[in-house]
Amino acid sequence: MACQGRDLCRQPAGSRKMKPLFGRVLRQGGVLTLLALSQQVAAAAETPCSSPVQEGAQARARAALPQAINLCIRDVHQGRAAVLLPAADLPVDDVALAPGLSGHRWGFLDSTGQLAIRPVFEAVSDYHYDLAAARRQGKWGYIDLSGKWAIAPQFDSAADFTQPGVAVVTREGRPQLINRRGEPVGQPFDDRVESVALQDGNPIHIRLTYHTVFLSPDGQRHNARDQMEIVQPFGHEGLFIARDAENRYGIADAGLAWRVAPQFSAITVPPQGSGLARAEGENGITFIRADGSQVAGSYRAAEPLTRDIWQATQADGQVDLLDSRGAVMRTLPEGAVSALSIHDRAVLERGKGPVNLYLDGSAAPVTLPAGSVIDEHDTLPYLVTRAGPGGNINGVIAPDGTLLGNAPWLAQAATVERVNGRLWLRDARGKLLNVIGPQGKALLSARTLEALAGHPLQPLYGNDLTQRTVQPEMPLARIDPAEAGGGNAGLLRADGSLLQQASWLSVSLADGADAGAAGGAPLQFIVTTGDGMGLVDSQGQQRLPFGEDNISAFVQGYAFVYRDGTLSALDHQGKRYALPDEIEIASIGDGWFRFRDSAAQEAPWGIFDAVAQRVVAAPAYRQVGRYADGQAEVQQPDGRWGVITSQNSWAIAPEYAALVRINPALWFAALPADAGSETAALRTLIGTDGKPRVPPTRGLTQTPFSGGRILAGAPDGQSWLLSADGRPELNEQDTTIHALGDWLKLSRLPQEGYLNAQGGWQIAADGRGAGSAFVNGRALRAQGQVTQVIDAQGSVVGTLPGGPWYWPAASEMSFSILDNGGQATTRYADTNGRVALTVAGHGSRMSGGRAVLAAGPGDMGWIDAKGQPLGVLHYQDLGLPAEGLAFARTGGRYGFVDAQGEFVIPPVFEAASPFEGGVAIVSSAQDAMMIDANGKPLARVGQVCGMRVLYGRGSERQWPQSLPVRCGGAPAAAP
């Protein structure tokens, strides 16, 4: 009966029968017998001959390669398998005594299991197109299939040759392309190129990576030395935490030279930290000061307690408290750290006697009465102490570290409130006891407190929403009259003095957060008297005489003044400006007012210039923004935004969906999106002259930088730096720009393209996307969310559906794996990009009309080009048939199956390679073998006497030619 779907073709685990060949292998003295013998010989193996794949497991699965690799004998390529054996140019006794495998070298076996190339190379690659890279005496060259130098060793590194005969090498740290004669080809790479990688195919896929460039504040470009990578700014002297190519950390100076050599596994600075950096090294933990000098000594553990205070544990268990310079503030015995409590910028040490409080920025501790604890309410930057949990307040530590603890009224305090950077203390009834300033001074005298008795106080909170910083010119509070309707309102000045007048009925702040006052202009207050309203400053100076009917708060630099039925505008200097009699009017800055002449909800806005006393624009705009620097953004009735000048002419044409003012010279604009489009809108930066400074770009972002400059960047890596006045300073193609303090980090994106056999560009490189190697004249090119199929000239022959697509070498089709909540789906597309097949599960490359499909963990089988299952297969790992056999794993071991999925070489190995040229490489934990298609060993590498030994098909020793004396070998002949 034919199977009706894959599930109906499955058998229960353990129900399959092994072919008779399994027994035949045993009787013939094949792989199992030899495996058992080798395990007896090498019972005390020193190094493994196989390893599970640690990185790139998914890529190997997509390419239908095994999830374990052979180490002692590498996979066969062009009839050669690299093998690591005792060095041919060292006495065997010296090899046995050398640490690890340092006395071993690489050679090659041929496909009969014979040692074709003696082990003389320090490192080798596999053969590709008749050449293999090999290293001797620290230099790389290329050897032919006989082991002779085809290209003499002269390079610092060397990669595999590609089909067109081009390889990449490095010489003196710089990459270059060479041909099969070792001659340079193509144009030399730019100095910024850090590495070059080639993928086989025709044309050749090339990927370029670039050195990071750092731009100093003076505009000089610096290439990082020794592959230095800047991590973050450190300290206040232009220093940086940096790491080298070996991922070791040190400190670099402003010239990108090492101030502290890279020697640490990590260097960290606590958030907001300004003093010490913690450096982890082989000898423990040490500290580096903000000037780059190192603190003497090391510790076994360390952690920050506050911004500037560290807790560091000595080798004997004692704990040092260190300040921001690394000086020891206190040494505590082991276990005494339990007496410490941390309170933002302070560390409290409680003992039997007085309590010590260590503060950020203070060398000596503040001593508090015994039993003191920190009040847990947020009063920062002040600290409030109490006489034990729930006790009375017994001290206030000001931001500068001053302790206020001896005031007689302090014990009466029940509540504290932070207002405009000062601390207000009240008793249990809410009576004000005093106000403490940042220097720890009580601002209110007894006489002032007496004068305030009976007067309601309204604290003035300032512009800082957290109330932690001081707005110095802001008075402490508004004083209301003691009785309703009475006089004697006033202000409680910032220094704690009184400003009151018997005629003042009320006082209110005229300059709020959006007042728009010019810098340095004094704060103004609206005062109401029996004669009318007027303005005074915080020192009581008259700014506008009393007598107005009404005065509003200042908005965008102007207040409205109403008197005798006439509305006018008032600037901060007290000058009046006549206003038109309109339904609605509001200041938009610099003397301009928007107005409506109709009460309709959607009535348009016009613009009136109060300084010039003229109508700038009749009501026609849907919205009018702020007017500053001679320009204002306005919205047309059709919803488009533009920018007008003082003459109501277009500085920026009304073509944009949104406009945001960045600074006096630049606007950030969004173009209208296409109807129904989900693509991000194009955005641009425009100067006040209406000309774009950055071309319309999707996903464009902008952020402020030092000195008022603006950084702009696009998702494709294009970046721009503009000066504060809108001049372009940098325009970096395929480069991201990051701020590091006052420095800029320029990271150019990797570039990918394709080369011809002469090393020239066949398809030019760019950084906009990734490409695959060419397979049968086709390759993939991904740009953003779009993946295209291109031909060898770079022309697009098809566009694939969304999702990641792959095209491994030797695959007849490209494919994509989508994983939706654990339910994987694989789509296969033909060479023109048309989806030809969709199956459930994780698929592999398609070769010979079949692919590997993983329906779930440990459930792998084959499918044909129509997606139909081939045979009853439930393997943990599976390859594609090569020369009639495919590796397969079951029960955690690898063997080989035929095209019907039946084992012909039993699963007893920990690693296995695909067959090539009639042979494959297999490994156990201690041994590696080359086997033929019948499973018979042709060569085996085991470990004897601390070194690797090569045996032939009859278990005769091939290499080394003799064993060390201490292992039963004959002594070396006398010279």
Q: What percent of the chain has pLDDT over 70?
A: 93
Instruction: Indicate whether 901 belongs to any domain.
Output: no
Are residues 565 and 467 part of one domain?
yes
Residue 741 confidence (pLDDT) above 80: no
787, 799 in Cβ contact below 8 A?
Answer: yes
CA dihedral 679, 685, 686, 691 (to 10 degrees): -80
**pLDDT tens digits for 33-66?**
344 333 333 333 357 999 999 889 999 999 999 9
> What integer pLDDT is reported at residue 926 of this predicted model?
84
Range of the domain at 560: 444-578
Count of CA atoms in the C-beta half-sphere (13 A) of 526: 18
Which is higher by pLDDT, 57 or 747? 57
628, 589 in Cβ contact below 8 A?
Answer: yes
> What integer pLDDT is reported at residue 500 of this predicted model?
94
Final residue before a domain boundary, out of 829, 860, 878:
878
Residue 815 confidence (pLDDT) above 70: yes
Residue 627 confidence (pLDDT) above 80: yes
Beta bridge partners of 356: 349, 367
Are residues 563 and 484 part of one domain?
yes
Are residues 725 and 779 part of one domain?
no
Residue 280: count other Cβ atoms within 10 Å of its Cβ: 16
Among candidates 938, 896, 952, 944, which has minimal Cα distance to 47? 944
The arithmetic mean of pLDDT across residues 303-328, rounded, is 93
> What integer pLDDT is reported at residue 120 of this predicted model?
98
> What integer pLDDT is reported at residue 925 of this predicted model?
81
Instruction: Indicate whether 820 belongs to any domain.
Output: yes
DSSP 8-state symbol, 869: E
Are residues 665 and 542 part of one domain?
no
Residue 203 confidence (pLDDT) above 70: yes
Residue 7: count other Cβ atoms within 10 Å of its Cβ: 9
* Phi-psi label, residue 563: left if phi above 0, alpha if psi -120 to 50, beta otherwise: beta
**pLDDT tens digits for 820-835?**
877 899 999 999 999 9
Name the band, by pLDDT with cuts 50, 70 and 90, for residue 678. low
| Tokens 């960045």 sit on residue | 662
Are residues 777 and 727 part of one domain?
no
Residue 974 confidence (pLDDT) above 80: no
> What integer pLDDT is reported at residue 163 of this predicted model?
95
| Strand, coil or helix: 5 | coil
Between 460-464, 677-681, 934-938, the lowest mean confidence (pLDDT) is in 677-681
For position 814, which CATH number holds? 2.40.128.630
Name the band, by pLDDT with cuts 50, 70 and 90, for residue 226. low
Final residue before a domain boundary, out of 524, 546, 578:
578
Task: Determine the Cα–Cα distance for residues 120 and 104; give it in Å rounded to an integer.
Answer: 8
Which is higher by pLDDT, 326 or 224? 326
> What integer pLDDT is reported at residue 747 of this predicted model?
83
Are residues 777 and 692 part of one domain?
no
Instruction: Indicate whether 196 belongs to any domain.
Output: no
Among candidates 958, 962, 944, 947, which has minimal Cα distance to 96? 947
Task: Determine the Cα–Cα distance for residues 550 and 565; give it in Å rounded to an integer.
Answer: 10
The arithmetic mean of pLDDT across residues 499-513, rounded, is 93
In Å, what is the CA distance from 78 to each residue of 129, 145, 715? 8, 9, 43
Amino acid at 550: N
Instruction: Indicate whether 665 belongs to any domain.
Output: yes
Instruction: Indicate whether 484 belongs to any domain.
Output: yes
Are residues 572 and 454 part of one domain?
yes
> What integer pLDDT is reported at residue 236 of this predicted model?
78
| Strand, coil or helix: 133 | strand
Amino acid at 291: D
- With residue 57 as reference, give the H or E element that holds it: helix 57-62
Which is higher by pLDDT, 806 or 6? 806
User: Into how many domains does the chain fold?
Assistant: 3
Q: Which segment, 205-209, 220-224, 519-523, is predicted with the most confidence on average?
A: 205-209
Instruction: Indicate whether 89 belongs to any domain.
Output: no
176, 765 in Cβ contact below 8 A?
Answer: no
Are residues 458 and 567 part of one domain?
yes
Are residues 574 and 448 part of one domain?
yes
894, 912 in Cβ contact below 8 A?
Answer: yes
Instruction: Indicate whether 230 belongs to any domain.
Output: no
> What integer pLDDT is reported at residue 524 of this predicted model?
95
Name the band, by pLDDT with cuts 50, 70 and 90, for residue 521. confident
Final residue before a domain boundary, out of 855, 878, 901:
878
Q: What percent of the chain has pLDDT over 90?
A: 70
- Does a cis peptide bond (omega within 30 degrees of 0) precede residue 203? yes
pTM attached to this predicted model? 0.67
Mean pLDDT score of the chain, rounded to an integer? 89
Task: Determine the Cα–Cα distance for residues 180 and 163; give it in Å rounded to an integer.
Answer: 11
For position 705, which CATH number holds? 2.40.10
Amino acid at 218: D
Among candidates 96, 94, 118, which has minimal Cα distance to 108? 118
Task: Determine the Cα–Cα distance for residues 608 and 588; give it in Å rounded to an integer.
Answer: 10
Are residues 682 and 564 part of one domain?
no
Are residues 572 and 456 part of one domain?
yes
> What integer pLDDT is reported at residue 86 of this predicted model?
97
Are residues 777 and 728 part of one domain?
no
> What integer pLDDT is reported at residue 173 of this predicted model?
83
413-429 as b/e, with b when 16 or more CB fall inside 10 Å? beebebbbbbbbbbeee
> What integer pLDDT is reported at residue 8 of this predicted model?
27
Which is higher by pLDDT, 648 or 484? 648
**pLDDT tens digits for 246-295?**
889 999 988 888 999 999 999 999 877 778 999 999 989 999 999 999 99
> What integer pLDDT is reported at residue 549 of this predicted model?
96
**pLDDT tens digits for 956-972?**
999 999 999 888 766 65
Instruction: Indicate whether 739 belongs to any domain.
Output: no
